[in-house]
Structure 1
Amino acid sequence: MRLMEMARVVRSKNAGPLHLTFDIMLETEADYERCLAAPGLRAEPIAKIYSVSANAVAITPYPTARAIKITLPRHEAAGAPGDRDVYGAQQHAPLLEIEV
């Protein structure tokens, strides 16, 4: 099953001008646990998707909210020349196809 079929919400946004953050929110405890255990939602595969170092990928689980937050550095500062998504709101799409 792909993340887009399981998650209630998958979104991205800026976390300051130099980082992106991704929120993944799940409907059930079982879905949350499955996503936490999914190999595709670990630092290494996410780093590969976004062309950053795995050491720069922070994954923070929020069990009470059944949510997972992923934060990583932007390739250019928000609003800098060459930035095509000043709000970081369109960066979550590659995560949607991850198998969970």
Structure 2
Amino acid sequence: MALIRDIARVCKSKNAGPFELTVDVVFDDPALYRRVKDTGVLSADLFARLYNVSAKSVIFTPYDAASAFKATFPRLLPSGEIGDSDVYGCQQHAPLLDVDIPL
């Protein structure tokens, strides 16, 4: 087992406009990326569970050429809305860091 925080080169989040977030997970090693991809752990369903959104609303894309995954999904609150604690969306990747990949 391996945590995303320990095996990914990059794991970051940012706003994709005021109403959506995007999360990128990038690997240095294409072989490791393929192993992670083959587990099926990183998926629209995972992002739906972690971020409390519908799986249908998650756009999940593996990018083989870049050894990367991208997920875009609705923010629970629009950026800057009263109660929003991360206007830029740059801290929203944190729940993903502790995801355990069965390698």
- TM-score normalised by length of structure 2: 0.90
CA distance in 1, matches of 2:62, 2:46: 17
Alignment RMSD (CA, Å): 1.1
Cα offsets for 1:38-64 (capped at 9, x unmatched) = 333111122111110011111111222
* Other-structure match for 2:75: 74
One-letter amino acid matched to 2:82 = P
50-59 or 40-49: bigger deviation = 40-49
- Greater than 2 Å deviation, 4+ residue runs: 37-40
Match of 1:65 in 2: 66
1:89-100 matched pairs, under 5 angstroms: 89-100=90-101
Q: Deviations over 1:10-38 (max 9, x none)?
A: 00000011100001110111111122223
The amino acid of 2:34's aligned partner reads: E
Structure 1: runs of 5+ lacking an equivalent: none
SS at match of 2:26: strand
Q: What's the secondary structure of 1:79's corresponding residue?
A: coil
Task: Structure 2: give runs of 5+ residues left out of the alignment.
Answer: none
Q: Percent identity?
A: 46
